Amino acid sequence: MSAVCTMGRAMKQVQHGRAVRSVLVTAGLMCLLTSVANAADTAANYPSRPIRFIAPTTPGGANDILPRLLGARMTQNWGQQVVIDLRPGAGGVVGTEIAARAAPDGYTLLIIANGYVLNPFLIAKLPYDTLKDLDRVSLFTVAPLVLVVHPSMPAKSVQELIAYAKERPGQINYGTSGLGSGGWLSMELFKRMTGLKMTHIAYKGAGQSTAAVLTNDVHMLFTSSLAASPYIKGGRMRALGVTSAKRVPSMEGVPALAEFMPGYEVLNFFGVLVPAGTPKAIINKLNDEINRITGLPDVREQFAQLGFDPVHNTPEQFTAYVRAEMNKWSAIFREAGIKAE
């Protein structure tokens, strides 16, 4: 009789355990479904207020102009204002940190260029984790840079510039938007392949470095064709070469540096990030919108005129691209003996 009672109690405990597990599983499923529904609802209602688009640069460069182009189209489509917030300094670190510390709700966007993947190897103590503190949304365009000089420079070609600078080691200066910028990287590769000794002058952004060439405070720089085109056409700058492997339609008549320096190629890339933890549904909605904008015929025409090639990809593909770029440049910097400071 005792054994029967013991077995009965055991059966009741098993049944009770199964019931508890069933309740917990059901509750878990309900929470998951509720979370998915809330995320979908958040994305469906997004955006419901103005969006801040941080550009970690001074006015006038591609990092300023491109978010304005994207932001204007987003405003047209979504009916919410996209406010461009210029936050220059430290080669893009200042603006990037602000974005990394912002609320992960989809209402803070950040445009980045090459410096985003290079800064971890140039700056010993970044105030954010490049991969963990920001989520990738979309890599939306790539573009070569153009080497420009002040018109007073006697060099009329890349070959003449190299010969001129070799006769004046350390006397020729060049501007950049800071360590890690596309212009800096282009010039480092240029110096390495030519053996030139020149003086580096860093500015807070493309606008300031471009202005320095216009006033002849620096002799030359690598900059985006977007920023340089008006001045080249107006005769206030002279274009000597582009950093792509081949010539580009937007810089008619300007040779590729690779024509004189085989293997030379540097491309600027531009992408959009959000603070880590931003709902995946919102990231996907932003990605879809950016891909829609860069697929518009008139936008593609604008990009072509400015020397940009639109890129369509997913957040996952963008993250893979960033990892590949970080691996590539870390190896190059290590071989060149460039260390973070």
Report the SS3 class of residue 171: coil
Distance CA 110, CA 56 (A): 8
**Predicted pLDDT at 57:** 87
pLDDT tens for each residue of 230-253: 999 999 999 999 998 888 887 889
Sign of the four-CA dihedral 210, 213, 217, 218: positive
What confidence category does residue 283 fall into, taking pLDDT thresholds of 50, 70 and 90? very high
Q: CA nearest 294: which of 312, 272, 320?
A: 312
**Predicted pLDDT at 189:** 86
Do the Cβ atoms of 171 and 218 come closer than 8 Å? no
pLDDT tens for each residue of 66-96: 999 999 999 999 999 999 999 998 888 999 9
pLDDT tens for each residue of 116-143: 998 998 888 899 999 999 999 999 998 8
User: What is the phi/psi pair of residue 63, to 5°?
Assistant: -70, -15
**Predicted pLDDT at 328:** 82
Q: What is the DSSP string of 118-176?
A: HGGGT-TT-SS-TTTSEEEEEEEEEEEEEEEE-TTSS--SHHHHHHHHHTSTTT-EEEE
Lookup: tokens for 156? 């009329």
Q: What is the mean pLDDT of residues 137-159?
A: 95
Q: Is the pLDDT of residue 314 over 90?
A: yes
Q: Could you tell me whether strands 238-242 and 134-149 are parallel, antiparallel, or unpaired per DSSP bridges?
A: antiparallel
Q: Is the pLDDT of residue 191 over 80?
A: yes
Q: What is the reported pTM?
A: 0.71
Over the chain, what is the mean pLDDT? 87
Cis peptide preceding 47, ω within 30 of 0: yes
Q: What's the number of CA atoms in the CB half-sphere (13 Å) around residue 129?
A: 5
**Predicted pLDDT at 26:** 56
What confidence category does residue 280 fall into, taking pLDDT thresholds of 50, 70 and 90? very high
Residues of the chain above pLDDT 90, percent? 59
What confidence category does residue 3 fall into, taking pLDDT thresholds of 50, 70 and 90? very low
Of 59-73, 176-190, 319-333, give the lowest mean pLDDT range: 176-190
**Predicted pLDDT at 37:** 45
Do the Cβ atoms of 218 and 175 come closer than 8 Å? yes
Helices marked H in the chain — which ranges? 2-45, 62-78, 93-100, 115-118, 158-166, 182-194, 206-214, 225-233, 280-294, 297-306, 315-336
DSSP state of 276: T
**Predicted pLDDT at 59:** 86
- Domains by residue range for the chain, with CATH: 51-141+269-336 (3.40.190.150), 144-259 (3.40.190.10)
Report the SS3 class of residue 229: helix
Q: Is the pLDDT of residue 179 over 50?
A: yes
